[in-house]
Structure 1
Amino acid sequence: MKNQENLTKMRILSRTQIVFCGALLGLILSKGLALFPAFALDDYVAVHQDRNPLFYVSQGRFTQAAIQCILSTLDVTPTSISWTATVLFFVFAAIAISSSLIYIAGNRTNEFTLAAIGALIGAHPYLTEYFTFRESLITQGTSFGLLALVFISVNRYENEQDRASDFYSLAWLAFPLVLLAGAQQTAFIIAAFAILARLVVDHLWNEMPGEKTAPRKANTPIIFALSVAVIAYVFVYIISRSMLSAAFDTRGSILPIAEILPRLEQVASMTKKILVDSEPILSALPKLLLATLAIWSLCRIALNRPKTAAAIALMAATMYLGSVFLVTVSSVWWPVPRAVYGVGFAYGITLAVISIWLSCAAARRLAVGASVIAIIFSFHSNAILHDQARLNRWDAWVAGEVAKDLLKKGITSNQRVTLVGADWKHPVGMRTLTGDLNTSALAVAWSAQYLMMEATGRVWNVSSIDQAEACHKAPAWPAEEAIKMVSGVTYVCMNLR
């Protein structure tokens, strides 16, 4: 009997390791370039000064505020420790992805299929955008660490306990779930995706004739913990913002009722872009391949189990809506890829559920298809990070040359300098410019100064604006006459925007 238990544990461990390696490989192939130093707009600022923790509290990210306080105490910045944050992110994210997939599927499907799906989730370019903002990696990594803790705990509980046992046995998981929501609300939604998928799997499994059914109340402990966490998070958010007098941030406000219909039109257009259209960071081909793989596999199930296929399709639609939920309800319309990275998880989880009802041969074909798409995703992800390195070089060159010209004219660090008409992009251009991803720091008022400081090692008083009267008839920089001094302000007429 004991030998049988040991054999079961070894089989579970081997299965877990295979799925973990698949997810880790997907992450490294697609995001490995993030280990090399690079800067996004926020990073230029973050490497020089601490963020005010109240900025995060106002958005309901109190865990991130606590992380910022710890970093300030240690006298380090998120940007400067991005190597460590990235490596830990890889580990935590791979554990979170693999443990959630195993939680959903159990031993009902092949581990190599789950490994391929884990690689697909890890390689998705929407998640890669977070890696361009080195400042955010430590918080995002913490989120995935908490996510991993939750599903490792649930899996261990199910392997060692009677699944129908104590209703309150996993109540303690409400604490890491609250911290998870306080770090990254999107990651909390992903936890809900996994739990929803498990409920669907168990329900459909119980409906199959002749199968050993799971107890009807087997999932109540984790559902109870999730419900408590939702309520607790709302209370902690309200109390922390009130007690700390954190100014209300518009990104945390809800869309007014009068703007619902226009927003739905925007969401519909965004949905088409996400699922079908080519966009700067992801071409249409892998999207269509992924959709074809999912629909083809679902149709195979529908031939024999139409109700099962319908339930899975409904689950997938629900998870997609969850992926775009925060963008949809926010009063600020900011549908950047990183804000909807849950789409990659929605697709991956759907494929994991589909694989349970496929034959062994069909599941293997699904694994091959998922692996191919994961590799294509990694190509696009690498392009994003490669373009960021190019952009940093170009920005640093321009900043250095502008600084050199200013010094030749006797402009000191204390004097006000204004860049006028600096463009969002450089003349050579790049393919992955979208939203604030791979946007030139020269064009952004709050990052141009810190770019100049990074490029030269000198303190500057620099801002950036669209246009100024002083530059209306001036030639564009690098012409010598492009630098003009008016009323104590030095204007550098870029005149590109």
Structure 2
Amino acid sequence: MTSKSNQSYLCGQNFWWFAASFFLLFLASKSLGLTVGYALDDYATMLSEKGQMQDFFISQGRFTFALLQSVLDFSDLKQPQLASIGFFLSAGGFLLISWVTLAKWLEKDILLAIALGALLGAHPFFAEYVSFRQALFGVGVWALLIVGAITLLAQDGPVTIGRLCAASAVAAIASGLNQIAMAFFCIAALGIFLQKNIHLPPLRAALLAVRSTVLAGAIASAFYVALFALTVRMVAVSSDARTSILGVNDISGRFVDIAVLLMGIFGGSHPLVGPVAAICTAAAILVLCVRASTACGQWMQVLSGGIVIALGIALALLPTSISGVWWPVPRTLIAMPVAVALGIAIFSFGASRVQVRVASVALLIAAAIFSGKSGWLLENQQRLNRWDIARAREIVTKISEIRQLDASTPILIHRATWAYEIDQGMGLGDANISAFASGWAVDPLFEEAAGRRLNVKSGVQGDTRCENAPSFPNSGSIREVEGTVHVCL
């Protein structure tokens, strides 16, 4: 596309319907996140000193994020303070990524454009990022960088090696904010290359698009590794297990992990999906896959859609799958809905108008369920923050009643758990879990709750100071031994 065709690309009637449904469901399902308290990372980030976070980000392979943090330090700003801007940057970035990936298949049917826009806007996997305020601005920045990268690929005519390398370089920089950006780049590239080959037989178009996508991903990954290696060479940093690569001996076990995860998501047992949304999505796909004709081309269209979904899901899971640490929390899966939406759009290309309408209604029902699931996650985050803050304040108050308390008083928290007695199933990975159980978040939690400098740490596992002690807030749950206050939860 030239700049002129870029303008027309976003001015079609279906684009505006897609954008309206995306934004409406995004705001309806996730705006609650702007009012909740802090996630684990936010406690530490808000109370960190300038220059403290860069080493941590680089150790995770997020070198661009470290640069962004340096700019914010220079500006006397912290990441959570830009969460509202990040919220809208993310919404706009994901909208454009999704549309550029799907556009050609959504030109003919407004209802399908509305349904897929609603589905992607409402999907709860991204809701976790809204509660992680320290990361949300960075997400918005890398989403816009990926928009820039795929715009280079989407221009009219064949993709030259120069444009491919330029797009890959931008994607590598975006991945320095978060490696999930690479998955978005590859899935969007797959959709773009499919659209460029849309005049070819479906299976051939799919195979050519796969080849081009693999090349784009390989170049972008090479740029990313080179930039990361250069950064580590220039700046001495500590290592982080999450940047390690899966060992050969662990590959078979990782395939089992992936299979269990996918069965949970598509089978409806995942807490953020549920059986109704899974059934509606599956029904939409099955309806679109039915073909009255026995023509080979029709069934090749279905086959190519299946290939695209399989490859797209693989690309969405790749950053998490190859990591030495298996941590498939919802925010690491946010590219998967785009991959599924791309497959659905391809299935619709040869389906009848009635099929598309029936499938669209099923997808709208799924979108409504997903919106509720997003609200469930964010509301639970809000409840958890209230519980953590209230308990931390109560502990500080009770300690102050029995002794003088200041920053020199060591406090050890024992027997902390991830959950409270009610709604113990609200935790998802490191989302919606108590900061009391996180050694690096517990001190910032207490300082945020009390508004004063304190010295709070997690007790060492196996410490017997709280053996047979009653649980807080019962009498005897706070003990002082040799100047150290032990709190037995």
TM surpasses 0.5: yes
Please name the residue that 2:15 is paired with.
Answer: 16
Please name the residue that 1:275 is paired with.
Answer: 266
Please give the alpha-carbon distance, in whole angstroms, between the structure 1 residues aligned to 2:24 and 2:389.
33
Please name the residue that 1:470 is paired with.
Answer: 465
Q: Structure 2: which 5+ residue stretches go unaligned?
A: none
1:299 pairs, out of 278, 283, 290, with 290
Change beyond 3 A, Cα 1:433–1:300: farther
Please give the alpha-carbon distance, in whole angstroms, between the structure 2 residues aligned to 1:269 and 1:360.
36
Please name the residue that 1:370 is paired with.
Answer: 363
Please name the residue that 1:33 is paired with.
Answer: 32
1:153-174 CA distance string (max 9 Å, x none):
555x33xxxx248553565333
Please name the residue that 2:182 is paired with.
Answer: 188
Please name the residue that 2:414 is paired with.
Answer: 420
Please name the residue that 1:60 is paired with.
Answer: 61
CA contact (8 A) 2:30 2:127 kept: yes
Matched, 1:347 2:340: yes
Please name the residue that 1:70 is paired with.
Answer: 71
CA apart distance, 1:386: 0.5
Please give the alpha-carbon distance, in whole angstroms, between the structure 2 residues aligned to 1:114 and 1:446.
44
Please give the alpha-carbon distance, in whole angstroms, between the structure 2 residues aligned to 1:287 and 1:113.
18
Please give the alpha-carbon distance, in whole angstroms, between the structure 1 residues aligned to 2:475 and 2:178.
48
Q: Structure 1: which 5+ residue stretches go unaligned?
A: none
Write out aligned runs for 1:161-200 (5 A): 163-164=157-158, 168-169=162-163, 171-200=165-194
Please give the alpha-carbon distance, in whole angstroms, between the structure 2 residues aligned to 1:166 and 1:403.
64
Please give the alpha-carbon distance, in whole angstroms, between the structure 2 residues aligned to 1:34 and 1:10.
32
SS in 1 for 2:56: helix
CA contact (8 A) 1:26 1:119 kept: yes
Residue identity opposite 1:105 in structure 2: W
Please name the residue that 1:455 is paired with.
Answer: 449
CA contact (8 A) 1:204 1:308 kept: no
Greater alpha carbon shift after TM alignment, 382-391 vs 448-457: 448-457
Please name the residue that 2:101 is paired with.
Answer: 100
1:158-203 CA distance string (max 9 Å, x none):
3xxxx24855356533342222221222122122112223434554
1:465-494 CA distance string (max 9 Å, x none):
355312112211112311111122110111
CA apart distance, 1:219: 11
Please give the alpha-carbon distance, in whole angstroms, between the structure 1 residues aligned to 2:417 and 2:217.
46
CA apart distance, 1:254: 0.9
SS in 1 for 2:368: helix
Change beyond 3 A, Cα 1:388–1:67: same
Please give the alpha-carbon distance, in whole angstroms, between the structure 2 residues aligned to 1:33 and 1:243.
41
CA contact (8 A) 2:190 2:210 kept: no
Of all paired residues, the percent bearing the same amino acid is 25
SS in 2 for 1:437: coil
Please name the residue that 2:436 is paired with.
Answer: 442
Write out aligned runs for 1:61-210 (5 A): 61-102=62-103, 105=105, 107=107, 109-155=108-154, 157-158=155-156, 163-164=157-158, 168-169=162-163, 171-203=165-197, 205-207=199-201
RMSD, aligned α-carbons: 2.9
CA contact (8 A) 1:34 1:86 kept: no
Change beyond 3 A, Cα 1:165–1:172: closer
Matched, 1:488 2:483: yes
Please give the alpha-carbon distance, in whole angstroms, between the structure 2 residues aligned to 1:10 and 1:200.
16
Please give the alpha-carbon distance, in whole angstroms, between the structure 1 residues aligned to 2:352 and 2:74.
55
CA apart distance, 1:415: 0.6
SS in 2 for 1:484: strand
Please name the residue that 1:386 is paired with.
Answer: 379
Residue identity opposite 1:257 in structure 2: V
1:56-115 CA distance string (max 9 Å, x none):
22322211111111111111111233222223322332233223322x5374x3244223
Change beyond 3 A, Cα 1:154–1:16: farther
Report the count of equivalent residues: 478
CA contact (8 A) 2:118 2:367 kept: yes
Change beyond 3 A, Cα 1:218–1:201: closer
Change beyond 3 A, Cα 1:36–1:125: same
CA contact (8 A) 1:105 1:352 kept: yes
Change beyond 3 A, Cα 1:41–1:67: same
2:308 pairs, out of 315, 318, 341, with 315
SS in 2 for 1:88: helix
CA contact (8 A) 2:264 2:270 kept: yes
CA apart distance, 1:285: 2.0
Residue identity opposite 2:308 in structure 1: M
Q: TM-score of the superposition, structure 2-length normalised?
A: 0.89
1:289 pairs, out of 272, 277, 280, with 280
CA apart distance, 1:137: 0.5
Residue identity opposite 1:293 in structure 2: A
Matched, 1:241 2:242: no
Change beyond 3 A, Cα 1:221–1:330: closer
Change beyond 3 A, Cα 1:398–1:151: same
1:396-447 CA distance string (max 9 Å, x none):
1111111100111114122100111122211222542122111011122211
Please give the alpha-carbon distance, in whole angstroms, between the structure 2 residues aligned to 1:346 and 1:207.
21
SS in 1 for 2:471: coil
SS in 2 for 1:469: coil
CA contact (8 A) 1:114 1:352 kept: no
Residue identity opposite 2:256 in structure 1: E
1:332 pairs, out of 325, 332, 351, with 325
Please name the residue that 2:392 is paired with.
Answer: 399
CA apart distance, 1:224: 7.2
CA contact (8 A) 2:125 2:330 kept: yes
Q: TM-score of the superposition, structure 1-length normalised?
A: 0.88
CA apart distance, 1:148: 2.3
Residue identity opposite 1:272 in structure 2: M
CA apart distance, 1:118: 2.3
Residue identity opposite 2:125 in structure 1: Y
Please give the alpha-carbon distance, in whole angstroms, between the structure 1 residues aligned to 2:293 and 2:30.
36
CA contact (8 A) 2:284 2:358 kept: no
Please give the alpha-carbon distance, in whole angstroms, between the structure 2 residues aligned to 1:139 and 1:55.
15
CA apart distance, 1:347: 1.2
SS in 1 for 2:328: coil
SS in 1 for 2:162: coil
SS in 2 for 1:463: strand
